[in-house]
Structure 1
Amino acid sequence: MKNILRSAILTILISVVISIPSGNLITGENDIEGNYTNYKFFIKSKIAFKKSEATGEISTKTGIISIDGLNKKYKIKKIKEVFRLNNGDKEVFSELGMDKIYSLYIETENNYPVEKIIEEYSKLEEIEYSELNYTGQSAGRKNDFNPVEVPFQLLSLTPNDMMFNVQWYLKNDGSMTPTVGISAKQGADINMIPAYEVEPGSDEVIVAILDSGIKYDHPEFKGRIWINTKEIPGNDKDDDGNGYVDDTIGWDFAYDDPNPSDGFGHGTNIATVIGANTNNKIGFAGINTKCKLMNCKNLTDDNSGEYEWWAESVKYAVDNGAKVINMSEGGDESSRVLKTAIDYATKRNVTVVASMMNRANNKNYYPAAFKGVIAVGATDTDDWRCKRFTWGGGSCWGKHISVVAPGNKIYGLDYLEDDKYDVSWSGTSQSTAIVSAIASLLYTQNRTRTPNDILTIITSTAKDMVGDPSEDRRGWDMYMGYGRVDCYDALVYETGIISENRDTRKEKVEITGDNDNKNTDPEEYNKEKKRNRSKAEEERSRAINPQNERNTSKEEPSRAIKK
């Protein structure tokens, strides 16, 4: 009887989940054109629109005849600033023209395709550009449980965290088999044990995690979550004037509220890698043992995120003190709006680290392909590029890749249960988290370092020619970048110590991104991409993930419902 009742309840739950509308967000990772919202789009005007002195809002009647005409024709119901100055840098904000970038919301009964609408706005003399609000997703997936990989754990001594022995990326003893290769390679890790002795980290350095949220009440994150001390919790006021009400523990940009809880586990895994409490005899060891973790949720509980949320969360992280921004996520399309946010970060000397993504191809994904971003690929337990993760896919490559880092079978905390330690994820997401953590340690050593200083140190100390000989060539190559990162060597870089396999002939590099001699202008690049993408590629992509179909809904999704 209990089994029958359980089956009935499960059937009802599944039916409810299936019936919940997904709004305009594309879920999952795919190469299909059409990953954008149909209920709103971006414009950048040549002059800033006037705001109501009473409400602070912008009227759809801007006073500019040509724009107002299109607003009426296409039934624009709301105009919203993508970026607000708030507590930001006024000079950089103005230099990038961030005060002139807007989201335009469309009435649901509008029958015009949004692609057509942005073409019309782009033709106006008063508009600098108009573009779609693209969507993307995280760059990691949860693996099926493998009991062989997680045997009874003996207490480790260095460090003493219970699950340290499965964290092969910190110390690879050769026991964790790769997905494709024959056997793991001892020492194919980030050389973390001696690195702990050099630099454990500092609570004065903030790493912003732009992701699905974090299980911020987990014991492994006690004392580690960034707290906005200028905000009084629960009083429904923006006490510090940063534009967000009650953002004491970060912000949820996907659902527009002050509770950035994790909706599907990805962000919690990323936070584990970067900064779980270390040497506390439970759970896992973080790479940075003291840094603060800023929780910026910009993915829904179904693993989808709008570029608008990503752009806004980047600015929030910068304005509120983050020194490193981890973006273990990516989208198919380039965007001027998202690039503006990245430019804001780099001009404020904040390092942005992003994932190459997991489609096992050499296409550009964003923000990783933008100038100013450290783009990270993934390696397996044998030090080769991860050609197939446990769940499938494979680490992407390309002419903008900076470095690679371990990314397969990365164990971490669960987002639902405090004492569940058998959860692992795989993808360039996890590799990105490792590089972000190393960057945060480098800033701890010297706060005056710039993003290019951080890149130079990380690339100059990466282990070269450790991967597949057909891919990993001397110096930089498009599969491994400058090599697999080495935390210890990075931390002792300025001492002149040279460890085995360091390529001393590597020259100082700059974060260039998009350095494939193609169009770097987002609008032109997207046009070129659409011209070159064949129908066969789209069909192949759908075959890989048939659920990822183009979204045609014009309904604005509710931002108030979480799982």
Structure 2
Amino acid sequence: MKKLVLTFSSLLLFHIFSNESTAQLNIKSYVENEILLKINPRASKSRISQINENFRSELLESFSDLNWIRVKLPDGLSVEQAMKEYKRFPEVEYAQPNYYYHLQATPNDPSFSSLWGITKISAPAAWDLTTGNSNVVVAVIDTGIRYTHEDLAANMWRNTAEIPNNGIDDDGNGFVDDYYGYDFRYNDPDPMDENGHGTHVAGTIGAVGNNALGVVGVNWTVKLMAIKIYSAAANDTTSAMLINAYNYIRMMRSRGVNIRVTNNSYADCPEACGYDQATKDALDAMGNAGVLNVFAAGNNGRDIDAIPIYPASYDSPHILVVASSTSSDTRSSFSNYGVRSVDLAAPGSGILSTYYSSNSSYTSLSGTSMAAPHVTGAAALLAGYNPNLSVASLKATLMNSVDVLSSWNGIVKSGGRLNVDRALRNQTVCDLALSANVIDVPTKGGMFTVNVSAPNNCDYEVKSDSRWVSIVGGRVLSGSSTLTLRVSVNQTISRTATITIGDKTLLLRQKRPGS
């Protein structure tokens, strides 16, 4: 086993005390004078302008490839009333608030002097196979990163096509001086951490290893992209900011930056905000571009199968949701759980990592925010070890290789806690097979089924390109499943529909006999 030297040159004992129920009363659910609208793609810009003028609303931002816009409302028009009125127009498919999002850190009681979480997930054994890959980029969507930190600087992603601080968009991507990432909270190129949360998360993922300084991440070597969505208060990002962050990551991946994983240690407004379709659309687009998105399960200590918390509860195949475990492999008292909604557990109580106070500061924190980066780090280590693994294969491998424990049976879907060494040595390749590639259906329509064979925990989405074929049941399936399709009656013309099932396609042909 490779030897690792750890020296804690500066350990800050950091305690956070809060009254959660009191704090929730002071948290706003959404931006009071804005809404987000999903526009019918057939609607013209002039027609949308007319509708906005009718309400005396102002177009603030357009997410054109997602068909969403952000609108500022006039004084006197509430968000609730505006959504109701906008929905009357057929050009508007969906109307929702511009939600605020809040971090998932919790009060920290004990302070640990060792990286028990790294040992618990068998990272030292995994390091016999690989200590990381500098070609793998992890986007840390958080409060930013102290990119000058002694234990992070060497592993920071740098946009080599950009000359920093020259005020020019050198690479022509629409963002000036985005050298370490970008600050979507203040819309500027400096994602320096002002809170500490993001720097702590980044250290667990990829603090530099074997450098005789501070701590070590799951990856000794990796590239960390700083995506800042919070101010120092860490309670003030919005749907629009998240969408811009997700779109930036997707854009940079399309331009050749090998972003394989994102870490998302935040969730929706406690008890108030709900399903956010605009953010989910952007998140799904990022996942469909080949990015695995790891989310903290949240710190309400509740079953999120019964009471969802978003984004963790979205039914999306490229989301991996993480609960927090203790050093004794039990559920941390604050951690959310759910046998359908939460995928696996990882260490999250009393986790020592890098901190933002100085370039040599460290501290211990607790929360599902601290659990998620263990899994993100494991995903990055796995992606570097086998670059050919798809998003579905990364997710399934991490779930299928957990240490199965009685304390997690019926608590999370996999029934266990992360084991990164086992993940590297026992990979799951999500290769789907269909019982039929073509189905001929009669003009009277009806119900039709196709069997899908896939390894356990391989998640995939089902899409139909035609309105006359509808999917019965959920659109996201897992493992081997039976897909049921409803085909409408058609007495006139021959027609075909394509059903996308993960990376496979099914062709439906409807025509009169003999035609």
Q: Which deviates more, 352-361 or 230-239?
A: 230-239
TM-score w.r.t. the length of structure 1 is: 0.68
Q: Could you tell me how far 1:219 is from its partner in structure 2?
A: 1.1
Give runs of aligned pairs for residues 223-372 of structure 1, distance below 5 A: 223-304=154-235, 305-320=237-252, 321=257, 322-331=259-268, 332-362=273-303, 363-370=307-314, 371-372=316-317
Aligned to 1:169: 117
CA contact (8 A) 1:80 1:104 kept: yes
What is the identity, as a one-letter code, of the residue corresponding to 1:191? S
Provide the secondary structure at the position in 2 that maps to 1:41.
strand
Aligned to 1:140: 105
Aligned to 1:418: 359
CA contact (8 A) 1:29 1:137 kept: no
Provide the secondary structure at the position in 1 that maps to 2:96.
strand
CA contact (8 A) 2:261 2:294 kept: yes
CA distance in 2, matches of 1:263, 1:353: 23
Q: Which has the higher contact order (CA 8 A, sep 6+)?
A: 1
CA distance in 2, matches of 1:224, 1:433: 15
Of Structure 1 and Structure 2, the greater helix share is in 1
Q: Which residue among 79, 87, 103 is the counterpart of 2:70? A: 103
Q: Which deviates more, 72-81 or 302-311?
A: 72-81
Q: Deviations over 1:84-132 (max 9, x none)?
A: xxxxxxxxx5xxxx1x21111224xx11211110111112011111111
Aligned to 1:74: 55
CA contact (8 A) 1:311 1:337 kept: yes
CA distance in 2, matches of 1:416, 1:478: 36
Misfit runs of 4+, over 4 Å:
27-34, 67-70, 517-521
Cα 1:225–1:192 shift into 2, 3 Å? same
Q: Could you tell me how far 1:143 is from its partner in structure 2?
A: 2.5
Q: Could you tell me how far 1:355 is from its partner in structure 2?
A: 0.9
CA distance in 2, matches of 1:246, 1:28: 40
Q: Please give the root-mean-square deviation of Cα atoms over the aligned residues, in Å.
A: 2.8
CA contact (8 A) 1:383 1:466 kept: no
CA contact (8 A) 1:225 1:292 kept: yes
Q: Could you tell me how far 1:208 is from its partner in structure 2?
A: 0.3
CA contact (8 A) 1:460 1:507 kept: no
Provide the secondary structure at the position in 2 that maps to 1:219.
coil
Aligned to 1:561: none
CA contact (8 A) 1:353 1:375 kept: yes
Q: Could you tell me how far 1:229 is from its partner in structure 2?
A: 1.1
Q: Deviations over 1:241-275 (max 9, x none)?
A: 22211111110001110011111100000001000
What is the identity, as a one-letter code, of the residue corresponding to 1:306? T
CA contact (8 A) 1:360 1:397 kept: no
Q: Which residue among 125, 130, 133 is the counterpart of 1:194? A: 125
TM-score w.r.t. the length of structure 2 is: 0.74
Provide the secondary structure at the position in 2 that maps to 1:319.
helix
**Is 2:46 the partner of 1:63?**
yes
Q: Could you tell me how far 1:434 is from its partner in structure 2?
A: 0.6
CA contact (8 A) 1:400 1:478 kept: no
Q: Could you tell me how far 1:286 is from its partner in structure 2?
A: 0.8
CA contact (8 A) 2:323 2:335 kept: no
Q: Which residue among 377, 392, 417 is the counterpart of 1:452? A: 392
Query: Percent identity at matched positions?
Result: 26
Query: What runs of 5+ residues in structure 1 fail to find an aligned partner?
Result: 1-26, 51-61, 84-92, 151-165, 172-188, 388-392, 497-505, 522-563
CA contact (8 A) 1:45 1:126 kept: yes
CA contact (8 A) 2:184 2:241 kept: yes
Aligned to 1:374: 320
**Is 2:184 the partner of 1:219?**
no
**Is 2:64 the partner of 1:39?**
no
CA distance in 2, matches of 1:142, 1:380: 14
Q: Could you tell me how far 1:217 is from its partner in structure 2?
A: 0.4
CA distance in 1, matches of 2:60, 2:54: 15
CA contact (8 A) 2:392 2:460 kept: no
CA distance in 2, matches of 1:253, 1:425: 25
Cα 1:236–1:330 shift into 2, 3 Å? same
Aligned to 2:445: none
Cα 1:519–1:452 shift into 2, 3 Å? closer
CA contact (8 A) 1:131 1:335 kept: yes
